[in-house]
Amino acid sequence: MKKAILLLMVVLSYTGNSQKVKDSVLVKTQNIYRELTVSLPPSYSRDTKKTYPLLFLLDGDYLFDPFEGALKYGYYWDDLPEVIIVGLSQDKERDADCTLDETTGLPEGSGEEFFEFISGELIPYVQKKYRVASFKMIAGHDVTASFLNLFLYKDAPLFNAYISLSPELGLDMETRIPERLTTFKQNIFYYQSSSDGDIKKMKEKITTLDTNIKAVVNPNLNYKYDDFKEASHYSLVLYSIPSALYQFFASYQPISTTEFQEKIVKLESGYVTYLKNKYDVLEKALGIKMNIRINDFKAIEAAILKNKAYPELEQLAQLSHKMYPKSMLGDYQMALFYENTGDIKNAVRLYQNAFQLQPIGSLTKDMMLDKATELKAQLKK
């Protein structure tokens, strides 16, 4: 417990270079403005064409800082992507915002106005003003965690991912939510959490919902439930946030030692296909388009060499030329192909070609020159 709290203190102390701004959006039915806190990623002002996943926070008054800290920390280690965070200040309006009809479990009165405000005004405003990608998340705690589930009831849900932190579940949500989750034809992400120190009445309904969701058969559903030990209704939030984010963005993370050893190196073939699929999933599921990381190229290269699947080096080189056309990476990989298939003359030629191109990652001009010299010596023997 103490170690976890210490880690969270480190996370929250990391400030990064993101830009935090205050904003507001008009509630047309009430002619009042609601306050927003917006965190723009470090690269936002530099890369003016890039779009970013959106994380929308109910209870932004107290959820904003812990979510921002976790995301900044994950981005620093390239485990999590840059994200636009929008926190809605609810403060004294919280209960009125989340008003539900006791007989239907649906928003009524001020709750209905709030629901329509989010879907019809707030999110369109954010999408118009900021460069938001297709992947949108929503998060809330207890009452607001319950309320966010209502967006699942829409025929075309506004959000792709839901973070429900110890929800005070509304009427029949234990059955309605699983029923909705069975119907999705697109990727849907759902996370909920509780703890052994949670409010008993709430915990029972959360547990029932967990059981029912686990019975859902839908390949498009990505679901996780955490039941934290030695945590309260409030402290569980700090444990839940990184767990939810790492669940949603698992496909974003670089190839790890575990992934390499347990998945990639055990393949009989298809190493380059594995790499392509990893980044295709990232784009299709999360709306994140990015060049393949150099270290991921090196991991696939290592698996090919270890399993002596040398023809795949040609495929890898083609992909490298596409991703990094001005670098020496593609020519280096073709040189590796020729070297390992016994065509030393062509290997020397490609290492020499690579020498003239831009260094990348751990590849340097000296390395290319040394390899070409070494293989030339073999030709003279």
The 3-state DSSP class for residue 85 equals strand
pLDDT reported for residue 291: 93
Neighbour count for residue 104 (Cβ, 10 Å): 11
Contacts for 200 with CB less than 8 Å, ≥ 6 apart: none
CA distance 278 to 51: 20
CA distance 326 to 174: 55
What is the reported pTM?
0.87
Neighbour count for residue 223 (Cβ, 10 Å): 18
The 3-state DSSP class for residue 65 equals helix
Averages of pLDDT over runs of 10 residues in the chain (381 residues) are 44 58 91 94 92 97 97 95 96 93 93 95 96 96 97 92 97 96 95 94 94 96 96 96 96 94 96 96 90 96 97 97 97 97 96 96 96 88 65
pLDDT reported for residue 378: 84
pLDDT reported for residue 50: 92
User: 165: which strand partners?
Assistant: 141, 193
CA angle centred on 358, ends 354 and 361, rounded to 5°: 95
pLDDT reported for residue 17: 64
The 3-state DSSP class for residue 333 equals helix
- Residue 258 CB burial class (10 angstroms; 0-12, 13-18, ≥19): exposed
Return the sign of the alpha-carbon dihedral for residues 89, 92, 97, 103: positive
pLDDT reported for residue 13: 42
pLDDT reported for residue 8: 46
pLDDT reported for residue 276: 96
pLDDT reported for residue 4: 46
pLDDT reported for residue 381: 65
pLDDT reported for residue 380: 74
What's the token pair of residue 302? 């290592």
CA angle centred on 20, ends 19 and 21, rounded to 5°: 115
pLDDT reported for residue 69: 96
The 3-state DSSP class for residue 292 equals coil
